Protein backbone atom coordinates (compact mmCIF):
# COMPACT_ATOMS: atom_id res chain seq x y z
CA UNK A 1 0.00 0.00 0.00
CA UNK A 2 1.46 3.28 -1.14
CA UNK A 3 0.97 6.55 0.67
CA UNK A 4 1.67 8.58 -2.45
CA UNK A 5 -1.04 10.80 -3.90
CA UNK A 6 -0.38 12.54 -7.20
CA UNK A 7 -2.35 15.62 -8.23
CA UNK A 8 -1.90 15.83 -11.96
CA UNK A 9 -3.38 17.13 -15.23
CA UNK A 10 -4.07 14.29 -17.71
CA UNK A 11 -3.38 16.41 -20.81
CA UNK A 12 -0.08 17.89 -19.49
CA UNK A 13 3.39 16.61 -20.30
CA UNK A 14 4.75 17.87 -16.98
CA UNK A 15 2.20 15.68 -15.20
CA UNK A 16 2.68 12.77 -17.60
CA UNK A 17 6.42 12.52 -16.97
CA UNK A 18 5.76 11.75 -13.30
CA UNK A 19 3.14 9.10 -14.17
CA UNK A 20 5.54 7.59 -16.72
CA UNK A 21 8.29 7.19 -14.09
CA UNK A 22 5.80 5.75 -11.57
CA UNK A 23 4.74 3.21 -14.24
CA UNK A 24 8.34 2.33 -15.12
CA UNK A 25 9.13 1.85 -11.41
CA UNK A 26 5.93 -0.16 -10.84
CA UNK A 27 4.89 2.13 -7.99
CA UNK A 28 1.32 2.35 -6.71
CA UNK A 29 -0.23 5.73 -6.02
CA UNK A 30 -3.55 7.44 -5.63
CA UNK A 31 -4.34 9.78 -8.50
CA UNK A 32 -6.32 13.02 -8.28
CA UNK A 33 -7.15 14.21 -11.77
CA UNK A 34 -7.25 18.01 -12.20
CA UNK A 35 -7.73 18.82 -15.86
CA UNK A 36 -7.22 22.40 -17.03
CA UNK A 37 -10.24 24.67 -16.52
CA UNK A 38 -11.85 22.07 -14.20
CA UNK A 39 -13.63 22.46 -10.87
CA UNK A 40 -11.23 19.83 -9.45
CA UNK A 41 -8.26 22.07 -10.23
CA UNK A 42 -9.88 25.09 -8.58
CA UNK A 43 -10.76 22.97 -5.55
CA UNK A 44 -7.19 21.63 -5.23
CA UNK A 45 -5.84 25.19 -5.32
CA UNK A 46 -8.40 26.46 -2.81
CA UNK A 47 -7.64 23.58 -0.43
CA UNK A 48 -3.89 24.34 -0.51
CA UNK A 49 -2.96 21.04 -2.21
CA UNK A 50 -0.73 22.89 -4.73
CA UNK A 51 1.64 25.12 -2.72
CA UNK A 52 3.19 26.71 -5.82
CA UNK A 53 -0.15 26.85 -7.64
CA UNK A 54 0.91 24.35 -10.32
CA UNK A 55 0.54 20.70 -11.26
CA UNK A 56 1.88 18.10 -10.75
CA UNK A 57 2.16 17.97 -6.97
CA UNK A 58 3.12 14.81 -5.09
CA UNK A 59 1.74 14.30 -1.58
CA UNK A 60 3.95 11.94 0.41
CA UNK A 61 1.35 11.08 3.06
CA UNK A 62 3.09 12.75 6.01
CA UNK A 63 2.02 16.28 5.08
CA UNK A 64 4.97 16.86 2.77
CA UNK A 65 4.05 18.12 -0.71
CA UNK A 66 6.59 18.15 -3.53
CA UNK A 67 6.19 20.57 -6.45
CA UNK A 68 7.95 20.86 -9.83
CA UNK A 69 7.77 17.84 -12.12
CA UNK A 70 11.51 17.33 -12.53
CA UNK A 71 12.14 17.61 -8.78
CA UNK A 72 9.43 14.97 -8.22
CA UNK A 73 11.27 12.75 -10.73
CA UNK A 74 14.44 13.19 -8.67
CA UNK A 75 12.68 12.15 -5.44
CA UNK A 76 10.99 9.11 -6.99
CA UNK A 77 14.07 8.03 -8.94
CA UNK A 78 16.59 8.40 -6.10
CA UNK A 79 18.47 5.15 -5.49
CA UNK A 80 17.21 3.58 -8.74
CA UNK A 81 18.92 3.03 -12.09
CA UNK A 82 17.16 6.18 -13.34
CA UNK A 83 19.66 8.38 -11.47
CA UNK A 84 23.35 7.96 -12.36
CA UNK A 85 25.65 7.52 -9.37
CA UNK A 86 28.45 9.98 -10.21
CA UNK A 87 28.19 13.76 -9.85
CA UNK A 88 29.29 14.52 -13.41
CA UNK A 89 26.67 12.32 -15.09
CA UNK A 90 24.10 13.60 -12.59
CA UNK A 91 25.00 17.15 -13.62
CA UNK A 92 24.74 16.26 -17.32
CA UNK A 93 21.32 14.70 -16.65
CA UNK A 94 20.16 17.71 -14.64
CA UNK A 95 21.51 20.00 -17.39
CA UNK A 96 19.05 18.51 -19.88
CA UNK A 97 16.27 18.71 -17.29
CA UNK A 98 16.96 22.43 -16.73
CA UNK A 99 17.16 22.92 -20.51
CA UNK A 100 13.77 21.22 -20.69
CA UNK A 101 12.17 23.56 -18.14
CA UNK A 102 13.90 26.80 -19.12
CA UNK A 103 14.05 26.58 -22.91
CA UNK A 104 12.12 23.61 -24.31
CA UNK A 105 8.84 23.45 -22.40
CA UNK A 106 8.17 27.23 -22.80
CA UNK A 107 8.33 26.74 -26.58
CA UNK A 108 7.35 23.18 -27.51
CA UNK A 109 4.73 22.66 -24.80
CA UNK A 110 3.37 26.17 -25.18
CA UNK A 111 2.86 25.73 -28.94
CA UNK A 112 1.03 22.44 -28.32
CA UNK A 113 -1.19 24.15 -25.72
CA UNK A 114 -2.01 27.00 -28.09
CA UNK A 115 -2.81 24.41 -30.78
CA UNK A 116 -5.04 22.18 -28.66
CA UNK A 117 -6.66 24.10 -25.77
CA UNK A 118 -9.78 25.96 -27.02
CA UNK A 119 -9.56 28.58 -24.24
CA UNK A 120 -6.12 29.70 -25.53
CA UNK A 121 -7.04 30.09 -29.20
CA UNK A 122 -7.08 33.92 -29.09
CA UNK A 123 -3.39 33.87 -28.11
CA UNK A 124 -2.46 31.60 -31.04
CA UNK A 125 -1.87 34.35 -33.60
CA UNK A 126 -0.02 33.44 -36.84
CA UNK A 127 2.99 35.51 -35.70
CA UNK A 128 3.20 33.77 -32.32
CA UNK A 129 2.79 30.30 -33.86
CA UNK A 130 5.43 30.96 -36.54
CA UNK A 131 7.94 32.21 -33.95
CA UNK A 132 7.37 29.20 -31.70
CA UNK A 133 7.71 26.85 -34.68
CA UNK A 134 11.09 28.31 -35.63
CA UNK A 135 12.35 28.35 -32.02
CA UNK A 136 11.16 24.78 -31.42
CA UNK A 137 12.89 23.47 -34.52
CA UNK A 138 16.15 25.13 -33.37
CA UNK A 139 15.87 23.41 -29.97
CA UNK A 140 15.05 20.07 -31.59
CA UNK A 141 18.18 20.49 -33.73
CA UNK A 142 20.27 20.87 -30.54
CA UNK A 143 18.78 17.62 -29.25
CA UNK A 144 19.27 15.85 -32.60
CA UNK A 145 22.95 16.93 -32.61
CA UNK A 146 23.43 15.66 -29.06
CA UNK A 147 22.01 12.23 -29.97
CA UNK A 148 24.68 11.76 -32.65
CA UNK A 149 26.47 8.64 -31.40
CA UNK A 150 24.38 8.45 -28.21
CA UNK A 151 21.39 6.27 -27.31
CA UNK A 152 20.34 8.35 -24.27
CA UNK A 153 20.70 11.99 -23.20
CA UNK A 154 23.04 11.52 -20.21
CA UNK A 155 25.32 8.56 -19.63
CA UNK A 156 25.08 5.12 -21.20
CA UNK A 157 21.62 4.13 -19.95
CA UNK A 158 18.20 5.77 -19.71
CA UNK A 159 17.91 8.44 -17.00
CA UNK A 160 15.46 11.02 -15.70
CA UNK A 161 16.63 13.34 -18.50
CA UNK A 162 15.09 11.00 -21.07
CA UNK A 163 11.77 10.91 -19.21
CA UNK A 164 11.71 14.70 -18.82
CA UNK A 165 12.47 15.38 -22.50
CA UNK A 166 10.25 12.59 -23.82
CA UNK A 167 7.09 14.06 -22.25
CA UNK A 168 6.64 16.93 -24.71
CA UNK A 169 8.75 15.44 -27.54
CA UNK A 170 6.70 12.35 -28.33
CA UNK A 171 3.65 14.56 -28.99
CA UNK A 172 5.51 17.50 -30.57
CA UNK A 173 4.41 16.53 -34.09
CA UNK A 174 0.79 15.67 -33.52
CA UNK A 175 0.01 18.30 -30.88
CA UNK A 176 2.61 20.98 -31.51
CA UNK A 177 2.77 20.86 -35.30
CA UNK A 178 6.56 20.44 -35.39
CA UNK A 179 8.09 18.72 -38.44
CA UNK A 180 9.41 15.63 -36.69
CA UNK A 181 10.47 13.88 -39.91
CA UNK A 182 13.46 16.26 -39.82
CA UNK A 183 14.77 14.57 -36.64
CA UNK A 184 15.45 10.86 -37.23
CA UNK A 185 17.70 10.42 -34.18
CA UNK A 186 15.02 11.91 -31.93
CA UNK A 187 12.44 9.59 -33.46
CA UNK A 188 14.68 6.58 -32.83
CA UNK A 189 15.22 7.68 -29.23
CA UNK A 190 11.45 8.10 -28.74
CA UNK A 191 10.98 4.53 -29.97
CA UNK A 192 13.58 3.30 -27.45
CA UNK A 193 11.74 5.05 -24.59
CA UNK A 194 8.39 3.57 -25.69
CA UNK A 195 9.96 0.08 -25.71
CA UNK A 196 11.09 0.25 -22.06
CA UNK A 197 9.51 -2.38 -19.77
CA UNK A 198 6.58 -0.86 -17.90
CA UNK A 199 6.16 2.05 -20.34
CA UNK A 200 2.78 3.81 -20.34
CA UNK A 201 1.74 6.38 -22.94
CA UNK A 202 0.13 9.74 -22.28
CA UNK A 203 -3.41 8.38 -22.32
CA UNK A 204 -2.71 4.81 -21.16
CA UNK A 205 -3.26 5.48 -17.47
CA UNK A 206 -6.24 4.03 -15.63
CA UNK B 1 46.15 24.74 -9.93
CA UNK B 2 42.61 24.34 -11.16
CA UNK B 3 41.68 22.98 -14.56
CA UNK B 4 38.31 24.72 -14.54
CA UNK B 5 37.55 27.38 -17.12
CA UNK B 6 34.28 29.29 -16.84
CA UNK B 7 32.80 31.07 -19.84
CA UNK B 8 30.40 33.59 -18.36
CA UNK B 9 28.61 36.88 -18.90
CA UNK B 10 29.48 39.45 -16.20
CA UNK B 11 26.07 41.17 -16.26
CA UNK B 12 24.05 37.90 -16.10
CA UNK B 13 22.57 36.36 -12.96
CA UNK B 14 22.82 32.85 -14.43
CA UNK B 15 26.56 33.36 -14.82
CA UNK B 16 26.90 35.12 -11.47
CA UNK B 17 25.40 32.24 -9.51
CA UNK B 18 28.23 29.96 -10.66
CA UNK B 19 30.89 32.57 -9.75
CA UNK B 20 29.21 33.05 -6.36
CA UNK B 21 29.41 29.32 -5.56
CA UNK B 22 33.04 29.17 -6.76
CA UNK B 23 33.82 32.09 -4.42
CA UNK B 24 31.99 30.49 -1.49
CA UNK B 25 33.87 27.22 -2.09
CA UNK B 26 37.19 29.05 -2.49
CA UNK B 27 37.80 27.36 -5.84
CA UNK B 28 40.26 28.72 -8.42
CA UNK B 29 39.27 28.91 -12.07
CA UNK B 30 40.15 30.62 -15.28
CA UNK B 31 37.50 33.10 -16.40
CA UNK B 32 36.59 33.92 -20.00
CA UNK B 33 34.39 37.00 -20.03
CA UNK B 34 31.74 37.04 -22.79
CA UNK B 35 29.51 40.05 -22.28
CA UNK B 36 26.27 40.29 -24.24
CA UNK B 37 26.71 41.67 -27.79
CA UNK B 38 30.51 41.21 -27.57
CA UNK B 39 32.99 39.79 -30.08
CA UNK B 40 34.17 37.40 -27.34
CA UNK B 41 30.70 35.86 -27.14
CA UNK B 42 30.50 35.39 -30.90
CA UNK B 43 33.99 33.86 -30.93
CA UNK B 44 33.11 31.41 -28.12
CA UNK B 45 30.02 30.30 -30.03
CA UNK B 46 31.91 29.95 -33.32
CA UNK B 47 34.64 27.90 -31.63
CA UNK B 48 32.11 25.47 -30.15
CA UNK B 49 32.82 26.44 -26.53
CA UNK B 50 29.08 26.73 -25.78
CA UNK B 51 27.44 23.48 -26.94
CA UNK B 52 23.90 24.66 -26.14
CA UNK B 53 24.63 28.20 -27.35
CA UNK B 54 24.25 29.76 -23.90
CA UNK B 55 26.31 31.03 -20.98
CA UNK B 56 27.57 30.01 -18.49
CA UNK B 57 29.54 26.98 -19.66
CA UNK B 58 32.08 25.22 -17.46
CA UNK B 59 35.02 23.51 -19.15
CA UNK B 60 36.45 20.78 -16.93
CA UNK B 61 39.83 20.55 -18.67
CA UNK B 62 39.39 17.04 -20.12
CA UNK B 63 37.17 18.13 -23.01
CA UNK B 64 33.97 17.90 -20.98
CA UNK B 65 31.77 21.02 -21.12
CA UNK B 66 28.87 21.49 -18.71
CA UNK B 67 25.95 23.74 -19.65
CA UNK B 68 23.00 25.12 -17.66
CA UNK B 69 23.82 27.23 -14.61
CA UNK B 70 21.93 25.15 -12.07
CA UNK B 71 23.43 21.88 -13.34
CA UNK B 72 26.89 23.45 -13.01
CA UNK B 73 26.01 24.35 -9.41
CA UNK B 74 25.13 20.69 -8.81
CA UNK B 75 28.48 19.50 -10.19
CA UNK B 76 30.53 22.03 -8.21
CA UNK B 77 28.52 21.60 -5.02
CA UNK B 78 28.49 17.77 -5.00
CA UNK B 79 29.92 16.41 -1.77
CA UNK B 80 29.85 19.80 -0.04
CA UNK B 81 27.48 21.26 2.55
CA UNK B 82 25.72 23.07 -0.30
CA UNK B 83 23.94 19.84 -1.32
CA UNK B 84 21.78 18.16 1.32
CA UNK B 85 22.42 14.44 1.74
CA UNK B 86 18.88 13.03 1.73
CA UNK B 87 16.75 12.60 -1.41
CA UNK B 88 13.74 14.49 -0.04
CA UNK B 89 15.69 17.65 0.84
CA UNK B 90 17.58 17.34 -2.45
CA UNK B 91 14.22 17.22 -4.27
CA UNK B 92 12.96 20.25 -2.33
CA UNK B 93 16.16 22.11 -3.25
CA UNK B 94 15.91 21.09 -6.90
CA UNK B 95 12.23 22.07 -6.88
CA UNK B 96 13.17 25.67 -6.12
CA UNK B 97 15.91 25.53 -8.75
CA UNK B 98 13.44 24.32 -11.41
CA UNK B 99 10.98 27.00 -10.24
CA UNK B 100 13.80 29.50 -10.72
CA UNK B 101 14.51 28.40 -14.30
CA UNK B 102 10.94 27.72 -15.44
CA UNK B 103 8.97 30.50 -13.77
CA UNK B 104 11.19 33.08 -12.04
CA UNK B 105 14.06 33.79 -14.43
CA UNK B 106 11.76 34.20 -17.47
CA UNK B 107 9.95 36.98 -15.59
CA UNK B 108 12.29 38.64 -13.08
CA UNK B 109 15.49 38.35 -15.12
CA UNK B 110 13.74 39.21 -18.36
CA UNK B 111 12.28 42.39 -16.88
CA UNK B 112 15.72 43.41 -15.61
CA UNK B 113 17.20 42.76 -19.07
CA UNK B 114 14.52 44.82 -20.78
CA UNK B 115 15.18 47.59 -18.24
CA UNK B 116 18.95 47.64 -18.56
CA UNK B 117 20.15 46.36 -21.96
CA UNK B 118 19.93 49.16 -24.56
CA UNK B 119 19.61 46.69 -27.48
CA UNK B 120 16.35 45.33 -26.00
CA UNK B 121 14.61 48.65 -25.42
CA UNK B 122 12.20 48.25 -28.36
CA UNK B 123 10.78 45.13 -26.70
CA UNK B 124 10.18 46.95 -23.39
CA UNK B 125 6.69 48.23 -24.19
CA UNK B 126 4.55 49.55 -21.30
CA UNK B 127 2.21 46.54 -21.67
CA UNK B 128 5.05 44.02 -21.50
CA UNK B 129 6.70 45.75 -18.54
CA UNK B 130 3.41 46.00 -16.61
CA UNK B 131 2.63 42.30 -17.16
CA UNK B 132 6.12 41.25 -16.04
CA UNK B 133 5.85 43.48 -12.96
CA UNK B 134 2.59 41.87 -11.90
CA UNK B 135 3.82 38.33 -12.59
CA UNK B 136 7.10 38.96 -10.78
CA UNK B 137 5.36 40.29 -7.69
CA UNK B 138 3.15 37.16 -7.62
CA UNK B 139 6.25 34.93 -7.75
CA UNK B 140 8.00 36.98 -5.06
CA UNK B 141 4.88 36.52 -2.89
CA UNK B 142 5.23 32.72 -3.25
CA UNK B 143 8.85 33.00 -2.09
CA UNK B 144 7.93 35.37 0.77
CA UNK B 145 5.27 32.89 1.94
CA UNK B 146 7.74 30.02 1.82
CA UNK B 147 10.25 31.93 3.99
CA UNK B 148 7.68 32.25 6.77
CA UNK B 149 9.42 30.43 9.64
CA UNK B 150 12.37 29.39 7.46
CA UNK B 151 15.89 30.85 7.16
CA UNK B 152 16.72 29.06 3.87
CA UNK B 153 14.74 27.69 0.93
CA UNK B 154 15.40 23.96 1.42
CA UNK B 155 16.44 22.30 4.65
CA UNK B 156 17.95 23.93 7.72
CA UNK B 157 21.10 25.34 6.12
CA UNK B 158 22.00 27.24 2.95
CA UNK B 159 21.87 25.15 -0.23
CA UNK B 160 22.20 25.54 -3.99
CA UNK B 161 18.56 26.67 -4.05
CA UNK B 162 19.52 29.81 -2.14
CA UNK B 163 22.36 30.58 -4.57
CA UNK B 164 20.14 30.00 -7.61
CA UNK B 165 17.32 32.21 -6.32
CA UNK B 166 19.61 34.90 -4.92
CA UNK B 167 21.19 35.65 -8.31
CA UNK B 168 18.24 37.54 -9.80
CA UNK B 169 16.55 38.43 -6.49
CA UNK B 170 19.24 40.63 -4.95
CA UNK B 171 19.08 42.91 -8.01
CA UNK B 172 15.31 42.64 -8.64
CA UNK B 173 14.65 46.09 -7.17
CA UNK B 174 17.47 48.10 -8.69
CA UNK B 175 17.58 46.38 -12.08
CA UNK B 176 14.11 44.92 -12.47
CA UNK B 177 12.06 47.70 -10.87
CA UNK B 178 10.25 45.34 -8.48
CA UNK B 179 8.91 46.79 -5.22
CA UNK B 180 11.15 44.89 -2.84
CA UNK B 181 10.00 46.79 0.25
CA UNK B 182 6.90 44.55 0.04
CA UNK B 183 8.99 41.46 0.84
CA UNK B 184 10.73 41.79 4.22
CA UNK B 185 11.46 38.07 4.62
CA UNK B 186 13.13 37.97 1.19
CA UNK B 187 15.21 41.01 2.13
CA UNK B 188 16.30 39.35 5.38
CA UNK B 189 17.24 36.19 3.48
CA UNK B 190 19.25 38.23 0.94
CA UNK B 191 21.16 39.78 3.84
CA UNK B 192 21.92 36.30 5.24
CA UNK B 193 23.30 35.18 1.85
CA UNK B 194 25.46 38.32 1.57
CA UNK B 195 26.88 37.62 5.06
CA UNK B 196 28.13 34.12 4.17
CA UNK B 197 31.93 33.64 4.44
CA UNK B 198 33.52 34.01 1.01
CA UNK B 199 30.54 35.87 -0.48
CA UNK B 200 31.21 37.91 -3.62
CA UNK B 201 28.70 40.32 -5.15
CA UNK B 202 27.73 40.58 -8.80
CA UNK B 203 30.51 43.03 -9.65
CA UNK B 204 33.07 41.99 -7.01
CA UNK B 205 34.92 39.50 -9.22
CA UNK B 206 38.44 40.18 -10.42
Mind listing the pLDDT tens digit for each residue in A26-83?
999 999 999 999 999 999 999 999 999 999 999 999 999 999 999 999 999 999 999 9
Compute how many other C-beta atoms are within 10 angstroms of the C-beta atom of residue A187: 15
Are B193 and B170 in contact by the 8 Å Cβ rule? The answer is yes
Q: Are B57 and B41 in contact (CB under 8 A)?
A: no
- Whether A89 contacts chain B with CB within 8 A: no
Do B174 and B107 fall within a single domain?
yes
* Sign of the alpha-carbon dihedral angle for A48, A49, A52, A54: negative
In a domain? residue A93: yes
A68-103: pLDDT as tens digits: 999 999 999 999 999 999 999 999 999 999 999 999
3-state secondary structure of A6: strand
- C-alpha B56/C-alpha A114 separation (Å) is 31
Q: Which residues of chain B have pLDDT under 70?
A: 1, 206
Domain C-terminal end among A48, A77, A106: A77
Task: Give the ipTM.
Answer: 0.97
Do the Cβ atoms of B98 and A72 come within 8 Å?
Answer: no
Of the three residues B77, B95, B127, the one that is the final residue of a domain is B77
Give A206's pLDDT tier (boundaries 50, 70, 90). low
Residue in A with minimal Cα distance to B87: A75
Residues A115-165 have pLDDT tens digits of: 999 999 999 999 999 999 999 999 999 999 999 999 999 999 999 999 999
User: B185 and B121, same structural domain?
Assistant: yes
User: Tell me, what's the pLDDT at B175?
Assistant: 96
Query: Which of A67, A142, A146 minimises the CB distance to B95?
Result: A67
pLDDT at B203 (0 to 100): 80
What are the counts of helices (DSSP H) followed by strands (DSSP E) for chain A? Answer: 8, 4
Position A1 confidence tier, pLDDT thresholds 50, 70, 90: very low
Query: Which one of B27, B46, B77 terminates a domain?
Result: B77
Half-sphere exposure of B199 (CA within 13 A, CB side): 14
Task: Look up the CATH number of the domain holding residue A10.
Answer: 3.40.30.10
> Average pLDDT of A181-200?
98
**Distance (Å) from the C-alpha of residue B99 to the closest C-alpha of chain A?**
7
Domain count, chain B: 2
Has residue B160 been placed in a domain? yes
Q: How far is B194 from chain A (nearest CA, A)?
A: 26
B14 lies in which domain range? 5-77
Question: What is the rounded distance in angstroms from the CA atom of residue B147 to the CA atom of residue A44?
Answer: 22
Considering only CB atoms, B74 lies closest to which of A51, A72, A94, namely A94
pLDDT of amino acid B205: 75
Amino acid sequence: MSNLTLYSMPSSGNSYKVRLLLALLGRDYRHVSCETQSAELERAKAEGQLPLGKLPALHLGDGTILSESNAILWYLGAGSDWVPSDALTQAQMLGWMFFEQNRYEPVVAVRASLNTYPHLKDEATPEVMAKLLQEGHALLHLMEDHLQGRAWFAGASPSLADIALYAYTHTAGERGGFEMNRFPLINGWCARVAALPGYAGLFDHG
